[in-house]
Each structure stands twice: as C-alpha cells, then as structure tokens.
A and B are shown apart, each in its own frame.
Chain A
C-alpha cells in the first residue's frame, strides 16, 4: 500500500522524522544547511503531534479519492499513476483549498515570505525509485512509521 503506516503507540516524539523530511526535501539534503541557510524550518511534510503520553507523526494518506485534489483550483495537485498524491509547488497559487479540505490536516500552508504555496508529503518518490524508504520511515528509531508496499489495504 502506497502510504506510510503510523503506529502511535511506538512514537517517542523524537522529531527525527521531521528533520529527515526537511533535509531530504532541501537543496543541500543536509539538515544543518537546510535549517540554517535554506530557511526550511517548519517545512516538514510530516508533523509530530504530542499530548501527554500520546504521540505520533502524521503525514498525507495518499487517499484513493483525495479531497485536496477536488479543491485544487490550479491543477497543482495530481494523483500520479503510481498512486502518489503530488503537489507541484511551482503551480500552486496558494488558494488554501487543500488546507481547508484535507480531513487529516496533511496539506500545509507556507506563509513565509513571498512564496505563498501549500506543501505536503510526496512519499519521497525519488527515494522510492532509488529503492529507498521514505526519509521519515528510515529515520524513525522505534518503528513508529512503517513503509511496506506489499501490505494490502484492509
């Protein structure tokens, strides 16, 4: 199944996934440079939520029928043939339709500076093609994020 499985009981809220996501989607692919030079803080596609003993990291579910796509007025959001729901930040006009309609809060607004666009998880499709796992999954020290394409939706 083309999505990261989230196991909330295992999450220790270490935020490794957020750092890994920011790094892999940055120019330098280096966490320090991404945060310090590329202004990528807050640009993680996965978000750790924490309240008391409960914690998990949540990102796009790559829905069969994505609400975000229905609301996209620019054509930036597409359902690719491989099942990934992809948001082309260049084409996004920042109408926030996806932010308003995603029931999982997984499409995020970038309100920093002049770049007004939404962003979301792309399932690290470049990494998948290279035979790697999504960066968040690889960085998770406690198997709270799992990726297994052979799993079937129940």
Chain B
C-alpha cells in the first residue's frame, strides 16, 4: 500500500490553497494530490478562454513546476473509488490503496443535469464545469451554428456570451423571471440582460425546455410555453451541487454538502473538506451553505491545510461575490443584493448619464450587499464593509453616488490602523 502524510482528493483551487496552508506549518511531510482529471490542476474560472482558443498550459495558473516545488506528488487521471475511513486509507481505480495521516476532500461540485425528453443518445449536449466539458465544446465548435443554453446563472451567461462571440446563434432559457438572479438585484439584472441582448443573445425567461427535438441530431427544443427554438447543440448550466459521490455509505456527514466545523474538519477527526463540496459559513446571515466561489474555495483550502498541519486556525467565513468579467461593462456584486424582507433597506442610483449603476442593501445602517456596474474601482471597500459591519447610516449616500469608493468615507481610526500598522485582513496564522 502506498502511503503519504497529507492526501488531497482534487487538484484545483481548494487543493492549491490547502497545499499552501500545509506548507506554512509543515515543510516536510509528503503531500499527495489525486485527481481523476488528466489535466490535473488548472483554473476552472478561465475555461471560457480555453474555448476561445487558449492553450491548456494557459489554464495552469500556478505555472509549471509548482507542485514539484511545493513537494507535492500528483496522481492525475486516477479516480478515487472508495474511502475506508476507519483504516485511514482510500482506494483508487484499478485496486491501488493509499494510506493517509490526514485526508482533504476537495472534490468540488458536480453539474446538476436535468432529465429532458428526447435527450437520449443525442450528441452535442454539454455541461460547462470542467476541462473535459470545455474541450468537448471546443472540439465540436464546427458541428453547430446555433445553441440553446439552459440556465441564466453565472455559468450559463458566461458560456452564452463566449459562444455568441464565436458567432453562434445563442438562445438562453431560464426558469426564473430574470437573469443572474443569485448575483444581482432586479434592476441590475435587467441591465445585464440588455447588455447581452445588444450582443445578439436571445433570452426566454419564465420558461423551460420540455423536449429536445430531432431524430438523430438535435434540430431544436420545444419550450413549456409552446415556443420552438431551432438549435443544433444544447448546454445545460442549471447549477452545481456538492459532489457527494465518495461520501455515500461512509460515516461522513453529507447532507447536500459536506458538513465541516470552523476548522474545515469533518465529523471524522483526520478528514477535512474545502471548496465547492462543503457547506461553510456565509457571514451575510450566519448560515452554513455551499457557496461555490473561487476565493472562498482557496481560503477554505488554506484553513484546512493549516489545520491538517497542526495549526488551530478557524475559517472566518465567506460571502457571495460575483464578477461578470465577460461583459463589456463590468458588473461586480457581493453579499445580499435584493432586500429579502422589510428589515432591509434597498437603495439604488442610476447615473443619468448612463455611465454607472449602483445598488446597496443595508440593515440597521450596516452594509449587507451591493451591485456596481460601470464604476468598479474601489468596489472592494464595499465588500470590506460587508465584512466589518461598520455603521454607515450617515454615509450611505456617499457610498451610493461616488463613482470611486475610497477609504476617505471610512472612520479615521479604522483607516489609520491600516495606514500605519498591521493589515486587518485576518488570517494571521
């Protein structure tokens, strides 16, 4: 049986965070990462760029030689098939066993795939969450001119935008009444939709695909509303859910997400979790939920790694954050963007010159979330205010109207601490 000190299942951003967390406290123990993906470690957030023609090497965001430099052994293209937690070992496809001292499950999320009539045995139906998906889409680009994207969330709109850029006729079908419902408030959602419509993308809201038409090849989709849309390919982008494949029939607490404590430890003492697979603290409401977002996966990885290496280092929690990086006009959002009840105050400003839009959600004078379109410099100051919960009731107009949000609106004492002394970003492990 192969043995390693710290074993990580998964090789993407949470795993990279963990490697960095482990190496801060333990420079010697062997680390092993195992991933079923042959490309191993790459930036999932840049897959649209790969479809547009970038090389796989471009996706390797830590660069060549990173794992070697960090003293990490990699097993890529190998699927972990089972866990034997009481013996601290796992099984790999082909029968090989690997023993571990500490295990990190950074197995990510899996796309939620709807069951649609007529989908059987048809080619050119894709998801868009991992490299293999992106490669299949890229290799099939010559086989379709028109495509239906199911789902108008972040992934759906990004792939729609990308394929539209590559001269495909793109129609997006969304069950909800607006696009990007999780990331944006209704007004900014409308602005985002018109930005994409201007590029030539069609949207069908409050609708869903009932049936995929065509005998051998896809010829179109029939919607619940009765409309028919001709298309040759379909991409499903309804969302990702935590990947619980390995956890079934084990003692691990997995309930629509892997349960972890503040140290990213599961109910099994030498097993940790990080990234899209876990339910972790959302500071906007204090609940634990899956938040499949890049920076959070990385931070959870660092925390898990540090604790695997013997530190006692809590996760500070995260919040929803989105950057619609693909649009011509940048849109950033964080926290709660639509007031959920009358206890919250929603204010917005639409610059009459049309150059920028901003909306804020506050509760008792404290910022809970925002959307900013067009003017994004300093947006992180707003994100910081959601974290620090400083009372901004006197200053909310400034935060709303000023194009660039500066530190000058923050309390002098808070500001001077970071001007002259240590940083206040937390994570002082």
Q: Give me the interface of A with B, judged by CB distance under 8 Å.
A: 5-8, 47, 49-51, 54, 56, 58, 61, 63-68, 70-75, 93-109, 111, 153-154
Contacts and interface: CB of A to CB of B under 8 A. Distances in A.
A17 to B, nearest CB: 14
B377 A153 contact: no
Contact of A7 (B332, B406, B420): B420
Contacts of B428: 64-65
19 contacts: A7-B420, A8-B419, A49-B407, A64-B425, A64-B428, A65-B426, A67-B295, A70-B295, A74-B46, A75-B62, A96-B325, A97-B323, A100-B376, A100-B383, A102-B380, A105-B406, A107-B380, A109-B330, A153-B422
A103 B380 contact: yes
B169 interface: no
A70 B422 contact: no
Contact of B419 (A6, A63, A101): A6
A73 B61 contact: yes
Interface string B305-326: 0000000000000000101010
B408 A64 contact: no
B190 interface: no
B429 to A, nearest CB: 8
Contact of B415 (A5, A8, A99, A107): A8
Interface in B370-396: 376-381, 383-384, 387-388
B404 A111 contact: no
A104 B376 CA distance: 13
B323 A6 contact: no
Closest 4 CB pairs of A and B: A103-B384, A75-B61, A105-B378, A73-B45
B421 interface: yes
B334 A65 contact: no
A94 B321 CA distance: 16
B383 A103 contact: yes
A42 to B, nearest CB: 10
